[in-house]
Structure 1
Amino acid sequence: MSLTSPITERKLTIGTRNSKLALIQAERVSGALNNAHPHIKFPWQTVSVSGDVDKTSPFLKFGGPSDAAKNIWTEEMETKLSSGELDLLVHCLKDMPTRLPSGCVLGAIIHREDPRDALIIKASLRDQYTDLSQLPAGSVVGTSSTRRKALLRYKYPHLKIQECRGNIDTRLRKLDEGEFSAIILATAGLNRINMTSRISKHLPPSEFPYAIGQGALGIEIREGDTETLNIIQQIEEPLTRWICMAERSLLRTLQGGCSSPVAVNCTVENEDDQPRTRTCLRLEGTIIHPHGTSQVSAFEVAEMASDDEAEALGEKLAKRLEENGGRALLDEIRLVQEEEMGTSQK
């Protein structure tokens, strides 16, 4: 009688935040990976992060150099990734810092939903108003995003902006309970939790540009883990990767972050409907003063077929923005935020 050793089933554990949206995202990534690699299991494990623990403080409280404020969504998971407890992390890409901690890398960018922002007007007003411009003066609009606050102040100064934090269900409940006339959320999140019916209007990116990476999912892995990298890249979409890499390169070069009102709109340019061997992207960027007093915008267009070219597009646009007054505006924003945080040395 011959004896054989049992085959050990291989698995890679996914780390995710413990929210309805995060779990849906983790399940989607796990399913896609299982389809591509049926011989591997991809269970997920939830992790409590500081951004979910403190659900009331404005994001400015967490400000720091560059986009360090985004660490409130990633730091605890990255600790478990580095220790080997987790093998890959699934994030909303817009929540990921553009500079990751030592030992961690962005391995893949996938599943970009509609990146636009969505306006949700409370039920009692939906028959009367369909746009921000129509809301009466003094109407309260809720959002936690410094970018959205700045854009609202710049474009709709007649409105009152109020902090609105929490998961999507919490924010919608606050709207329904009458705390706000309207709130602004990411279309992608509402789509993923099947709440698209709550959207009153999609805000056009040409007028209300979105956050860097909004709608896309980022998979973070340990640096040097080439085996896991090869596995996750099987479900990556090259065009999505290049668009998001260009956007993140813009933000990284500007040294902006979660507390910096920087917005983008990236589109694919297809002239004359001719087949292309290289993708042509138009990347538009905007920096907005948090008080809504001014903004600087610019765009760049480039063909690309590689990560390096996508990074170069973002860097080129950042430099154009800086030359157009963006550097002075970012310096002013930093001083304003230091004063508001009580850290100004003046």
Structure 2
Amino acid sequence: MSGTAATGQELRLGTRNSRLALVQAERVSKELAHAHPAFQFPWQTVVVRGDADKTSPFLKFAGPSDAAKNIWTEEMEAKLCAGELDLLVHCLKDMPTRLPDTCTLGAIVHREDPTDALVIKEGLRSQYTDLAQLPRGSVVGTSSTRRKALLRYRYPHLKIEECRGNLDTRLRKLDDPEGPFSAIILATAGMVRINLHDRITKRLPPSEFPYAVGQGALGIEIRKEDTQTETMIRQIEDLPTRRICLAERSLLRTLQGGCSSPVAVHCTVEQSSPSSPAQLRLDGTIIHPHGTTLLWESATSEFRTDEEAEALGATVAQRLLENGGQALLEEIRQLQQEQKTANV
């Protein structure tokens, strides 16, 4: 395995093969090219397990820590470690908080609005603008364990069903006149990036519907010893965004939660006066998949360094664990194991 960048003036990007992933890779490539005009940044698509299996619910992939998230990254990481690619562009929310020993999160870039979006069926848009307005028994689609849990907790009158696929596929399923869905929940950022913001019925307020760790941001993964590439990609990084996301990821890592764990966050930057240092408030939430229990904790601190940000995430996670979170996560793990066994 090579520990340095590709020979010549070229760094090769890896990305998933979807319209959203390609838009994201193109944006990163263009910004890197602007920052480093002597280099080229071509991209290559890679088929990952999560795209190959578009029917199984994510609980099927559940496991300790971030095991479920490997379905979005493993195949690309193999090419990165083999030297076939030099950097990987991921949706940060799909990246495990613990990466392979030979890889590292080199930079965090381009965070769009991290909220979730309610999208109402085309034929119903004139009638409904909010989840609370949907009639009892209306079917809402999502593939996210977190979103399912929040929907069951906040809107028990609705029926929640699996809806997987890329954004275009899920929108087609939603708008099918013969299909079951009255609405689906998607990430606002993805809709904005592929110019579908006009389909968003409502951006769900994170105070009521907290979002996934890292949602809306892009993570750039590189080989751990590739210091040249790390230096180059750090030039397109926004430090506050990096540290906000590091705090969120630290919370998830401390909780040992993965893609199939109903863990949610809400971050806000607070400043009491123009002369005072900015502080980061991190709200952390764990929800039972059946929507029967919701635990919430919060903390605030300065975030001048990566270490301060990660300490904040660990603090909120520890408060959750000490106030019922440990028992709730164990119950969730048992439920996930039963689901996996049932799917075998």
TM-score, L = length of structure 2: 0.96
Structure 1 residue 202, shift from structure 2 partner: 0.4
Alignment of 1:282-301 (within 5 A): 282-301=281-300
Alignment of 1:8-23 (within 5 A): 9-23=8-22
RMSD of equivalent CA atoms: 1.2
CA contact (8 A) 2:61 2:340 kept: no
Q: Which residue of 1 aligns with 2:205?
A: 204
AA of the residue aligned to 2:129: T
Q: Which residue of 2 aligns with 1:87?
A: 86
Q: Which residue of 2 aligns with 1:4?
A: none
**1:250-276 C-alpha deviation (Å, 9 max, x unpaired):** 00000001110000000100213x144
**1:26-70 C-alpha deviation (Å, 9 max, x unpaired):** 000000000100011111011110110011110111111101100
Q: Which residue of 2 aligns with 1:129?
A: 128
Give the Cα–Cα distance (whole angstroms) in 1 for the partners of residues 32 and 133 of structure 2. 45
Structure 1 residue 179, shift from structure 2 partner: 2.8
Q: Does 1:259 align with 2:278?
A: no
Q: Which residue of 2 aligns with 1:102?
A: 101
Q: 2:146 is paired with a residue of what secondary structure?
A: helix
Alignment of 1:143-154 (within 5 A): 143-154=142-153
Q: Which residue of 1 aligns with 2:3?
A: none
Q: Which residue of 2 aligns with 1:341?
A: 340
CA contact (8 A) 2:62 2:337 kept: no
Give the Cα–Cα distance (whole angstroms) in 2 for the partners of residues 61 and 334 of structure 1. 12
Give the Cα–Cα distance (whole angstroms) in 2 for the partners of residues 121 and 172 of structure 1. 10
AA of the residue aligned to 2:309: A
Q: Which residue of 2 aligns with 1:235?
A: 236
Give the Cα–Cα distance (whole angstroms) in 2 for the partners of residues 122 and 70 of structure 1. 29
Give the Cα–Cα distance (whole angstroms) in 2 for the partners of residues 215 and 55 of structure 1. 22
Larger Rg over CA atoms: 1
Q: Which residue of 1 aligns with 2:222?
A: 221
Q: 2:181 is paired with a residue of what secondary structure?
A: coil
AA of the residue aligned to 1:18: N
Q: Higher RCO, 1 or 2 (CA under 8 Å, sep at least 6)? A: 2
Gaps of 5+ in 2: 1-6
Where in structure 1 do 4 or more consecutive aligned residues deviate above 4 Å? none
Give the Cα–Cα distance (whole angstroms) in 1 for the partners of residues 229 and 8 of structure 2. 16
Q: Which residue of 1 aligns with 2:61?
A: 62
Alignment of 1:167-186 (within 5 A): 167-177=166-176, 178-186=179-187
Structure 1 residue 102, shift from structure 2 partner: 1.5
Identity value in percent: 71
Q: Does 1:271 align with 2:272?
A: yes
Give the Cα–Cα distance (whole angstroms) in 2 for the partners of residues 165 and 275 of structure 1. 47
